[in-house]
């Protein structure tokens, strides 16, 4: 089966691109299942109910997230009402929602896990390595294919987790930096990995934000309100070709293009 991972969707322009194009992209690439990181998808950052509903209706099967998931007040209700919208599993257990889900497509049971890193992040979370171990034990025998969205800053931490999970999950893809990396590969025991899958947002921008805002932040060292950039959208993603009988990946390719 083929699983598409979509890089961080940024703001109104990124969400609108997904609304208009994701089903066609799924058809063109013969995608069976889509995981999309939506923690920046709402206007002004975060994720709200309306945006989550739009993304799901547009072809996302599971929405993962990261450190910006709490930016919108109503996301607590979203996480409680929509089991296919995940917050990082290694957040405190008392947080609303869940960080993992098993869902079925065409008779194939798919485990999706959302994790957040510790290196260079503002808060210290439960070890993603230990949480991954716990979840794999919890769901043992209950899934055929498994994918992990690791929302982390440091490439070393992302690569290390991929190696740690090699042979135990089908794919590990990184999110958070909004820049697609050039290291997509199949690890020795059959896990596909890419350090960061990139973003879906304004092409002429700094990670989806207007240049002027970011430049003022660097030059003035003052609190600056970030504003979403507009214009043409860049789409980043990765397609994993997975043998559902073994749970191993057989191929990975990255997608990277700017809309016409």
- For residue 172, give the CATH number of its domain: 3.60.21.10
Residue 94, domain member (yes or no): yes
Task: Give the pLDDT score at 122.
Answer: 79
Question: Which are the contacts of 107, defined by CB distance < 8 A and separation ≥ 6?
Answer: none
Distance, in Å, from the CA atom of 150 to the CA atom of 113, rounded to the nearest integer, reads: 8
User: Which residues sit opposite 103 in a β-bridge?
Assistant: 110
Task: Say whether 176 is catalytic.
Answer: no
Question: What total number of domains does the chain contain?
Answer: 1
- Could you say which of 68, 151, 176, 178 is catalytic? 68
Q: Is the pLDDT of residue 198 over 90?
A: yes
Distance, in Å, from the CA atom of 244 to the CA atom of 24, rounded to the nearest integer, reads: 24
Residue 177, domain member (yes or no): yes
User: Which residues sit opposite 34 in a β-bridge?
Assistant: 4
Task: Give the pLDDT score at 50.
Answer: 97
Report, as an integer, the average pLDDT of 210-239: 94
Q: Is the pLDDT of residue 260 over 90?
A: no
Residue 223, domain member (yes or no): no
Residue 48, domain member (yes or no): yes
Provide the percentage of residues in the chain whose pLDDT is more than 90: 96
Q: Is the pLDDT of residue 124 over 90?
A: no
Residue 131, domain member (yes or no): yes
Burial class (CB in 10 A: 0-12, 13-18, 19+), 29: middle
Nearest to 70 by CA among 93, 90, 88, 50: 88
**Backbone phi and psi for residue 18, each to the nearest 5 degrees, phi listed first:** -60, -45
Cα–Cα distances (Å) from 75 to 3, 89, 169, in that order, read 26, 16, 28
Distance, in Å, from the CA atom of 189 to the CA atom of 167, rounded to the nearest integer, reads: 4
**Backbone phi and psi for residue 16, each to the nearest 5 degrees, phi listed first:** -65, -35
Provide the percentage of residues in the chain whose pLDDT is more than 70: 100
Read off the pTM: 0.96
Structure tokens at 251: 């191929």
Residue 128, domain member (yes or no): yes
Q: Are strands 33-37 and 2-6 parallel, antiparallel or unpaired?
A: parallel
Q: Are strands 192-194 and 171-175 parallel, antiparallel or unpaired?
A: parallel
The parent domain of residue 244 ranges over 2-203+232-258
Burial class (CB in 10 A: 0-12, 13-18, 19+), 16: middle
- The per-residue pLDDT for range 143-184, each reduced to its tens digit, is 999 999 999 999 999 999 999 999 999 999 999 999 999 999
- The per-residue pLDDT for range 201-223, each reduced to its tens digit, is 999 999 999 999 999 999 999 99
Nearest to 235 by CA among 67, 8, 40: 8
Distance, in Å, from the CA atom of 91 to the CA atom of 29, rounded to the nearest integer, reads: 34
Structure tokens at 10: 């940024």
| Angle formed at CA 234 by CA 153 and CA 58, multiple of 5 degrees | 95
Residue 126, domain member (yes or no): yes
- The per-residue pLDDT for range 40-98, each reduced to its tens digit, is 999 989 999 999 999 999 999 999 999 999 999 999 999 999 999 999 999 999 999 99
Distance, in Å, from the CA atom of 118 to the CA atom of 111, rounded to the nearest integer, reads: 23
Residue 210, domain member (yes or no): no
Distance, in Å, from the CA atom of 163 to the CA atom of 156, rounded to the nearest integer, reads: 11
Task: Give the pLDDT score at 29.
Answer: 97
């Amino acid at each position: 089966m083929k699983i598409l991972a979509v890089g961080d969707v940024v703001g109104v322009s990124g969400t609108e691109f997904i609304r208009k194009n994701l089903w066609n992209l799924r058809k063109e690439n013969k995608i069976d299942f889509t995981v999309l990181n939506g923690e920046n998808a709402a206007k002004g950052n975060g994720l709200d109910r309306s945006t989550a509903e739009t993304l799901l209706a547009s072809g996302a099967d599971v929405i993962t997230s990261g450190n910006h998931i709490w930016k919108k007040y109503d996301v607590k209700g979203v996480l409680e009402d929509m089991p296919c919208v995940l917050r990082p599993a290694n957040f405190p257990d008392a947080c609303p929602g869940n960080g993992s889900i098993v869902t079925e497509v065409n008779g194939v049971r798919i485990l999706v896990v959302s994790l957040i890193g510790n290196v260079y992040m503002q808060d210290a979370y439960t070890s993603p390595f230990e949480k991954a171990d716990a979840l794999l034990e919890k769901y043992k025998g209950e899934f055929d294919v498994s994918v992990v969205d690791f929302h982390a800053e440091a490439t070393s931490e992302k690569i290390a987790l991929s190696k740690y999970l090699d042979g135990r999950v089908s794919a590990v893809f990184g999110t958070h930096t909004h820049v697609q990396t050039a290291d997509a590969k199949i690890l020795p025991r059959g896990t596909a990995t890419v350090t960061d899958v990139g973003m879906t947002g304004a092409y002429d921008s700094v990670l989806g934000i207007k240049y002027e805002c970011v430049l003022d932040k660097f030059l003035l060292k003052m609190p600056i309100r970030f504003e979403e950039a507009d214009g043409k959208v860049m789409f980043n993603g990765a397609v994993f070709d997975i043998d559902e009988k073994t749970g191993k990946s057989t191929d990975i390719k990255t997608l990277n293009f700017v809309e016409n």
